[in-house]
Amino acid sequence: ESGSSDTDVVVIGAGPGGYVAAIRAAQHGRDVTLVEKNAYGGTCLNVGCIPSKALITATDIAYDAGQAEEMGVYAEAAVDLKEMVEWKDGIVDRLTNGVEKLSSARGVTLVEGTASFVNERTLEIETGGERDRLSFDHAIIATGSRPIELPGMAFDGETVLSSTHALALERVPQRLVVVGAGYIGMELSTVFAKLGTDVTVVEMLGGVLPGYDDEISNTIRSRAEKLGITFRFGEGASDATQTPNGVRVTTENEGEESFEYDADHVVVAVGREPVTDTLALEKIGIEPDDRGFIRTDEQGRTECDHAFAIGDVTGEPMLAHAASKAGHVVADVVAGETTTLDEFVVPAAVFTDPEIGSVGMTADEATERGYEPVVGRMPLNASGRALTLDEPDGFVRIVADGDTETILGAQIVGPEASELIAELALAIDLEATLADLATTVHTHPTLSEAVMEAAANARGEAIHTL
Ligand code: FAD
């Protein structure tokens, strides 16, 4: 279809949104060019999901080894953070090489450089001072997001760190201040607390993980406190100054009292902002919203008919699998299909200790939308598998429509919650009912039995909980 253009589909950004869009468009037989200015795999593979999960695994092993005396295991792990980070980097390399190879093997043309729009059909690509032009029929913008800097606390990579810097530290800090108790702040705090760092988390709001209800966030908070993490709620960080040994962080509360915390480093994890500044979006008639995110319709189309946007650059949910799904859908739309983004339910996971998995509606959200929900629960302290894992904190909660018993949502806190939530996402996708989940035989002893029991509990028929 590309006629006189250099490429039919140009994808800007090779993160989990962009590379999936590019591969999918190539599967549709399109001529595809994928432009990346930095590293294949984007935030997720290089400085996000993958490196953080690698360090979480390694620090769990080190920490758990020293916590098993009750089981008759006496051990203390010695940690070399430099080697741990090298191991993590090896995984990142393997996966990012994979993205490059898979894209090439599908016939996607890879171009290294920074893309910006010249007009509605032309892109300029700058590589090491050289500028090239590329004409296109369709553009898919997948330029992602970056960490927000706080005023007075610019990232310097030494004392004031972003999540990216924190994931590359080679020495275990003695003291760390983490600003922000969202999921990135909480995952990083847990990693360093398990390595023995004295961690203080400063959070403007009243609790951890804003957006999750009290039952969930309190479970995470109390486990974090058991790990030795100190929380300072209702305080906002306003300044960081260098000290001979590191950094002094100043915070203020609503009563305008001021506090100071000394640490080796401060990690600022207060959210992420879209990356659009180098794109010259005005050249194709796109005006981002007041926070800089690109607005799209239900098929991912922007104000410019033949330009689409996917992933973090379009705002919440800023999650890798949401970006990938959007990439898939938009590539299908470009190929002439009629799919829409709202046909899909998007689960979310937080890799704290314990983990959180959630999908669909909470009971309150179901009520707001006019349902009369029923809720089934199974506490993990009644699960044989949770006890044999020595992980009894947490629960499975399932929300269903009281009339039809159709599953509307689920919230899971516990080990492997990130895996367990997939069964519930499938259940919602298939419009399954409580009976479907409750009567499916689940392997014993497993955590997934708690899903079955929670579904049975919603019908008053659970065996292992009241
Ligand atoms: P990105 O992955 O940000 O990719 C955008 C790409 O575009 C980048 O490679 C960038 O270099 C490139 N680019 C930007 N501008 C241009 C330009 N003008 N020209 C050329 N190229 C350009 N999500 C999860 O689902 N699970 C997790 O466990 C998880 N953990 C995370 C942990 C951390 C510490 C962080 C920071 C994030 C985490 N995320 C997680 C979020 C996840 O990384 C993002 O949602 C995901 O990467 C978004 O994908 P994307 O394709 O939209 O953008």
Residue nearest to atom 46 of ligand 1 (CA): 320
DSSP helix/strand/coil, 261: strand
For residue 163, which atom of ligand 1 is closest to its CA?
A: 34
Per-position b or e across 367-381, b if 16+ CB within 10 A of its CB: eeeebebbbbbbbbe
Per residue in 334-347, pLDDT tens?
999 999 999 999 99
The one-character DSSP state at 429 is H
Reported pTM? 0.97
**Contact yes or no for 236/259 (Cβ under 8 A):** no
Q: Does ligand 1 lie within 6 Å of residue 18's CB atom?
A: yes
**137 has pLDDT over 60:** yes
Would the pLDDT of 388 be above 70?
yes
Is any atom of ligand 1 closer than 6 Å to the C-beta of 274? Answer: no
pLDDT band for position 1 (50/70/90)?
very low
**Beta strands, E only, 306-347:** 307-309
Two structure tokens written together for 280 = 């010259």
Torsion of CA 30, 35, 40, 42, to 10 degrees: -110
Residue 194: exposed, middle, or buried by beta-carbon count in 10 A (0-12, 13-18, 19+)?
buried
Residues 281 and 326: their CA atoms lie apart, in Å, by 20
Query: Could you report the per-residue pLDDT of 361-376, keeping only the tens digit for each?
Result: 999 999 999 999 999 9
Name the nearest CA neighbour of 178 among 268, 264, 270, 55: 268
The 8-class DSSP code of residue 442 comes to: -
Closest residue CA from atom 26 of ligand 1: 49
Rounded to the nearest whole angstrom, what is the distance from the C-alpha of residue 160 to the centroid of ligand 1? Answer: 21
Note the ipTM here: 0.99
Of residues 1, 10, 6, 19, the one with CA closest to residue 327:
19
Tokens of 290: 């007041």
Which residue's entry shows tokens 């999960």?
53
pLDDT on residue 3: 60
pLDDT above 90 covers what percent of the chain? 98
Q: How far is the CA of 445 from the centre of ligand 1 (A)?
A: 37
